[in-house]
Amino acid sequence: MPLFQNKKKRKLFDTIDFQQEFNSILLFISEICEVPCVLITLIELTGLTVKAKIGLDLVPISPNIFAFIENIIQQNKIKIVSHINNDVSNQSENVVDFFTGIPICLYENLVIGTICIMDTKPKELSSIQLK
């Protein structure tokens, strides 16, 4: 589902550069959650797009991670996977072993993207970090 059905609103959204704001948000999340990898995705006309990322230049994003993201968008629920590679079928595919995804919503629970928190080792987030 496209982010904006209304082309006028879509054009306005495309003209605003949020890169600096996204990077500030990601740095904050990375520090609070003590993880090396964080990203923001948004649903665009062409599909799901990674809008900003930290720590993922050397870490490939596996198809499993994108499947998690799509699941978060469809269900509008936080997804936490503390130890992805516990499942033998995932071991060779994932450099990332910890994943938490949080939906980004607008009015009326319209999911427009996700914030994803990742680490290369298993992890648990505290209740404070999850807030």
pLDDT the model gives residue 56: 75
Q: Is the pLDDT of residue 16 over 90?
A: no
Quick one: tokens of 92? 């060779």
The rounded distance, in Å, linking the Cα atoms of 120 and 29 is: 16
pLDDT of res. 123: 93
Average pLDDT along the chain: 82
The whole-angstrom separation of Cα 124 and Cα 106 is 28
Tens of pLDDT along 86-112?
865 555 566 788 999 999 998 778 899
- CATH annotation of 7-130: 3.30.450.40
Compute CA distances 3 → 9, 49, 54, 125, whole Å. Answer: 10, 11, 24, 30
The predicted structure's pLDDT at residue 45: 81
**pLDDT at 3 > cutoff 60:** no
pLDDT at residue 21 greater than cutoff 50: yes
**Which residues are within 8 A (CB) of 95 and not within 5 positions of it... i.e. 6 or more apart?**
59, 60, 62, 120
- Kindly list the domain boundaries of the chain, sorted by start residue: 7-130
